[in-house]
Structure 1
Amino acid sequence: MIYPTSRAVLLMAVGAPVALLIGLISPGYWVVGGGWAALIVGLVLLDAFIGPARARVELTLDSPRALGMAGEGALKVKAVFDRGAPRRAEIAVETNERLVAAPDRLSAEFHAGEAEASTTLTPLRRGEGEIQNVWLRWRGPLGLVWKQVREAPERKIAIIPNIQAVKDEAIRMFSREALFGLKTQLETGDGSEFHALRELVGGMDPRTIDWKQSARHTKLLAKEFRTERNHPVVFAIDSGRLMCDPLLGAPRIDRALNAALLLAYVSLRLGDRAGIFAFDAKPRVFSGVLSGVGAFPLLQRVASAIDYSTEETNFTLGLTQLAGALERRSLVVIFTDFADTTSAELMLENVARLMRKHLVLFVVLRDEELEAIARREPVDADDVSRAVTAEALLREREVVTGRLRRLGAHIVDAPADRLGPALISAYLDLKRRELM
């Protein structure tokens, strides 16, 4: 695109009243106005012709592939002219509603035909950010025209939950377990998978003696076991309307994703496999069951694709499709919420069906705000009404969790800010007890 600058418009505007005045004083010289306009148009065309051509510039972008909430990233824009570069250019960046670029207008100076400018990308909400358009414009040598090129890179940036703090907590937890021998106990100890033979020493269980191998080697050898690995751990995340309501300043689904990604990191580190499945009125995303710590970035990108929803959750469709996609017995970690026992009936029915083949760990986000309302000393009639309602809701939640326990589900009931560590503890307990 080529268009006139404000200088060209100003010159054209200045000539108009002068030409009008000359025409009024001496009508025979009215052609001066036309001549002035023609001169300016000619200069504009000359400026457009002699300046650096639009086809000779190449724009490249360097941006992060993922950004964590409450984090920042740099977007670098580089412009290269193969010849005849201008001295200075302006750059503008357009993003979608999930990202903000600050500043969104940049200035860059060219040296040896190259210029580079950078801006800061800040995520506004979890999901998929996008750099939609990048503009580069520069003036002609006379300063009368702008030459502009536009790139539509459609560069996707996954905006993932900010789990750096909980990831650091997981690393510290691993360090503490290594110090006290707990991590080693998970790998070698009272598991069911044969690991190695070792010479019998004091304190070992005599029942682990392998008599055939002991006779062959003429010394007592005992079997050493370790906990089984390669177990599928699948996070079934309800992304429906209730899970998008806030809890302690953040949507419930964001807190669920933080905890799920933390446990995914731990389970991958311990040799298990992990996958994320999200559903509301219908299934939305499924990562498949992945193995290896190198799969963790992919799980983060899948988590970023789980959008906030206003639809009611269809447990029948969601959990049935999940059960059909799982080929072997898995640990299914369910993150959901319910308003009352009536709305939880379908959930309970489908969880019971899922438990016929799989081990279910059901996560309950403790609503501390609701508990505070129920405990608060009433001052007026409205306080009494709120306290009674809150107590009734809490009682119904206890009824549902009680029914889940009787069905055989394992329950994690923890405050929102301690959900991740509580979930890890429950997972490690299931591994120690060989329930997976």
Structure 2
Amino acid sequence: MGISRRFVYLLLIGLILLIAAVFINNSFTVFLIYNVLCIILLIIDYYISPGVSCLAVERCGKEKLSLFEEEVISFQLYNKSPYKLSLELKDEVPEFHFQVEDYLMTGMISPGEKKKFNYQVVPTKRGAFTFKNLHLKYKGRLNLCTKVFQLKLNREYKVYPNMKNLHKYSLKMANNRLLKQGWRSLRMCGNGSSFESLREYVTGDDYKKINWKATGRANKPILNQYEPEKNQHVYMFIDIGRPMSYTVRGHRKLDLVVNTALVLSDVINQSGDQSAVLLFNTGIDSIVMPGKGVEHRKKIMETLYHIDYTNYTSNYQEAFCYFKKKERHRSIIFLFTDFETESEAENILQLLPLVSKNNLLIIILIKNESRELVANQNIGNLEDLFTKGVALELLNERKRIIKLLNRKGIFCLECPAEKLEYTTINKYIEVKNKMSL
């Protein structure tokens, strides 16, 4: 129980009586009687005011939250008492992983009324987090006391990659309005192995694709038009070791890769292929085998939403050998990882034939923007000169690594963090357009 401002004002009046007691006989007795009456009124107010049982309180709203998006946490209250209540509510938010500007929710609730109270959070980490107790306070009927309660309302909220952006992307894809942003249409005809339709021959077409029977019937050259093979298995290998622990523009590399993997999975399924995910570090963390459809998408989402990086060096041999045991089809593999030195790249290069021999492998790297800033800075002293020299050497070594991989027939792309999604997806579309798999 607490006291209200009105009760404090009543006690201040008692102080006036105490001051008057210095000059007037028997005023001290009046002061004592007055304070006793105030306390009695306070106790009466507490007992005649509704208890917490007069309120039915529950958490409501969605349990799935999006990373770095403003989300609403809601409560629904039902006032079963015959009195109007002035409420203050404060939720217990898990520390460190949520940004909250204002925890306090206030409002009036009339007798028999159902009302929602909300506050906003911004999740800063993927995973599952439990919101526990709700602290509730309201004034008594005489407005002298305040009743304070703690309600146990445990609920687990799951923070997923930014699903709102995925939704926006899906809408844009449906309306085919991504061309002006550098995206290409998902309709991919011309190359491939699956027959799609017939069309008239035009200059520059491959004469090997001429359909001679159709040409004879039409009395003009007719061409077979093909589309890429459907149900192609497309894997996303995600290294959750040390390379994904670094931060780029305030976001972990792993978060950027997870968002990209989810968008790519949607595009893969829209184009008729089957998406798959393999997470690895010192061993195999988890795998989602190729598939498509709503349930498959949910399975990928549930696999990715809570993964976290480690500071260990990943075991590529374990990942590649495990993949070979599980997958018998010729597949496209997107490998999201990173390496800093030529020795690291050469070690990986020795293992790549395990998967690159019978599959198409594409390695995706994220640019180290902080290193580029250092390399482009002005030199003010000897320390700056040394730092810039080291940064330039590391950047040149990175270029040599990428060239080395490309010479060996491994696609290796490096892109800025903000272009990771559409660089990856454009590469997938390019591969599907140009290669018969």
- TM-score bin (small chain): 0.7 to 0.9
Counterpart for residue 105 of structure 1: 104
Gaps of 5+ in 2: 22-28
Letter of the structure 1 residue corresponding to residue 194 of structure 2: E
Report what 1:209 is aligned to. Answer: 211
SS at 2:364 equivalent: strand
Match of 2:255 in 1: 254
Q: Which residue of 2 aligns with 1:76?
A: 74
In 2, Cα distance between equivalents of 1:412 and 1:173: 28
Contact 1:320 1:350 in 2 (8 A): no
Aligned residue in 1 for 2:121: 121
* 1:413-432 superposed matches below 5 A: 413-432=414-433
**8 Å contact 2:66–2:162 — kept in the other structure?**
yes
CA distance in 1, matches of 2:123, 2:367: 28
Aligned to 2:26: none
Residue in 1 aligned with 2:177? 175
Query: Structure 2 matches for 1:118-157, cutoff 5 A?
Result: 118-142=118-142, 143-144=144-145, 146-157=147-158
Q: 1:94 aligns with which of 92, 99, 109?
A: 92
Q: Which residue type is aligned with residue 75 of structure 2?
A: V
Determine if the alignment matches structure 1 residue 265 to structure 2 residue 260.
no
Structure 2 CA distance, aligned partners of 1:42 and 1:419?
Answer: 69
Q: Which deviates more, 133-142 or 101-110?
A: 133-142
Change (3 A) 1:431 1:202: closer
- Residues 170-208 of structure 1: CA distance to partner in whole angstroms, max 9, x if unpaired? 749943669x9x74750x433211335x4x634375744
Find the residue that maps to 1:148 and give its secondary structure.
strand
Contact 2:129/2:158 (CA < 8 Å) preserved in 1? Answer: yes
Q: Secondary structure at the match of 1:342?
A: helix
Distance change >3 Å, CA 103–CA 390, structure 1 → 2:
closer
Which residue identity lines up with residue 56 of structure 2 in the other structure?
Answer: E
- Given that 1:370 and 1:390 are in contact with CA atoms closer than 8 Å, whether structure 2 keeps it comes out as yes
AA in 2 matched with 1:105? L
Residues 4-403 of structure 1: matches in 2 within 5 Å? Answer: 4-5=2-3, 47=45, 49-84=47-82, 86-96=84-94, 97-111=96-110, 112-142=112-142, 143-144=144-145, 146-161=147-162, 164=165, 167=169, 171=173, 174-175=176-177, 183=185, 186=188, 188-196=189-197, 198=198, 201-203=200-202, 205=207, 207-209=209-211, 211=213, 223-292=224-293, 299=300, 302-326=303-327, 328-374=329-375, 378-403=379-404
1:324-368 deviations in Å (ceiling 9; x for gaps): 454633322111122323344543344332324432110122334
Give the aligned partner of residue 26 of structure 1: none
8 A contact 1:81–1:114 mirrored in 2: yes
Q: Secondary structure at the match of 2:177?
A: helix
Q: Say if 1:98 and 1:123, in contact at 8 Å, map to a contact too.
A: yes
Mapped partners of 2:305, 2:13: distance in 1: 55
SS of the residue 1:153 aligns to:
strand
Q: Which amino acid aligns with 2:131?
A: I
User: How big is the alpha-carbon RMSD for the aligned residues of Structure 1 and Structure 2?
Assistant: 4.6
Distance change in 2, residues 1:286/1:426 (3 Å) = same
5+ residue gaps, structure 1, are: 23-29
**Partners of 1:52 and 1:373 in 2: how far apart?**
65
Provide the rounded CA distance (Å) in 1 between the counterparts of 2:289 and 2:82: 52
Preserved contact between residue 64 and residue 157 of structure 1 (Cα < 8 Å): no
Closer, same or farther: CA 356–52 of 1 in aligned 2, 3 Å: farther
Tell me the CA shift for residue 271 of structure 1. Answer: 2.0
Alignment partner, residue 27 of structure 1: none
CA shift, 1:118, in A, is 1.6
